[in-house]
Every structure is written in structure tokens, then in C-alpha cells.
């Protein structure tokens, strides 16, 4: 599968559609999910063109991978999730139910997450 530059997150990165930005740096953007499943529900994406967690883990540069993980900690603090915790989900490919083909991590919190996956 090749990267589709017209996916919705690519459009967000190009500023073609709006987003509620939580955090941004040279490599990473985080914005609130448009259909939140929890009191806190945001999405962390790399600015590079990566299809999935698998693609990102295999092919992103060390700088991009480090930036992504450092951003998670900053976003957790911004969203006030440091004390009570949160759930991080990366739906991946067909069986994972990934709908947007640009790697993203869901951050869900603000109350006790259900036992099963939240989507
Ligand atoms: P996934 O099923 O893991 O690919 O999740 C895609 C997520 O993107 C869903 O939770 C959608 O609600 C969210 N989403 C889709 N379009 C937008 C948008 N324009 N702004 C913010 N979140 C979006």
C-alpha cells in the first residue's frame, strides 16, 4: 500500500482543513478527535508520510521516532492525564480497524476507560 496524500490527516497537516491543535513541533502534530469517545480524546500524528504504526516503526528516522515519543509525554501533561492515566491506541491496518491511512495514536482519558477497546 502506498501513502495517499489526500487522506484527511495529510489535509490537516497542509492546513486544508481545520483542527483543534493540542501540541505541535517540527515532527509531530496533536489535535482533538472530531468525534471524541472519552472526555479527553486526541490524536498524535507524525508530520512525515507514514501509513501505520508498523510503517512508522520500520522506516521513520531516529529523530522522528524520538520526537513522537517525547511528544506523548508533553501531551499527557497538557491534557492533565499524568495523575490518573489514559489509554493509547494505534488501530493498525485492516484487522486493527484503521480508517485513516496516516499513522496516528489515539490518547483517551478523563475517566475510567472501558475494559475493551474504545472506538
Ligand atoms: P482510526 O479508526 O484509528 O483510523 O481513527 C481515525 C480517527 O480520526 C477517528 O477517531 C475519527 O473520529 C478521527 N477523525 C476523522 N476525521 C477527523 C478530523 N477532521 N479531525 C479530527 N479527527 C478526525
For each of the domains in the chain, give its residue range(s) and CATH number, in order of start: 8-109 (3.30.428.10)
Predicted model pTM: 0.97
Average confidence (pLDDT) over 68-76: 98
What digits encode the pLDDT tens for the residues 35-66? 999 999 999 999 999 999 999 999 999 999 99
Is residue 90 within 8 A of residue 105, CB to CB? The reply is: yes
Is residue 31 within 8 A of residue 42, CB to CB? The reply is: yes
How many Cβ atoms from other residues are within 10 Å of residue 112's Cβ? 10
What digits encode the pLDDT tens for the residues 1-34? 899 999 999 999 999 999 999 999 999 999 999 9
Nearest atom within ligand 1 for CA of residue 32: 21
What pLDDT is stored for residue 119 in this prediction? 55
Distance 9 CA to ligand 1 centre (A): 8
52 close to ligand 1 (CB < 6 Angstrom): no
Amino acid at each position: 500500500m502506498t501513502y495517499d496524500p489526500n487522506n484527511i490527516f495529510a489535509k490537516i497537516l497542509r492546513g486544508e482543513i481545520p483542527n483543534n491543535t493540542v501540541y505541535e513541533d517540527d515532527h509531530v502534530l496533536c489535535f482533538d478527535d472530531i468525534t471524541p469517545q472519552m472526555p479527553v480524546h486526541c490524536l498524535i500524528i507524525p508530520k512525515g508520510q507514514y501509513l501505520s504504526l508498523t510503517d512508522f516503526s520500520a522506516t521513520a528516522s531516529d529523530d522522528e521516532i524520538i520526537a513522537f515519543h517525547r511528544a506523548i509525554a508533553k501531551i499527557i501533561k497538557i491534557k492533565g492525564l499524568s495523575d490518573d492515566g489514559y489509554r493509547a491506541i494505534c488501530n493498525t491496518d485492516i484487522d486493527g480497524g484503521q480508517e485513516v491511512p496516516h499513522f496516528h495514536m489515539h490518547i483517551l482519558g478523563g475517566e475510567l476507560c472501558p475494559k475493551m477497546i474504545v472506538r
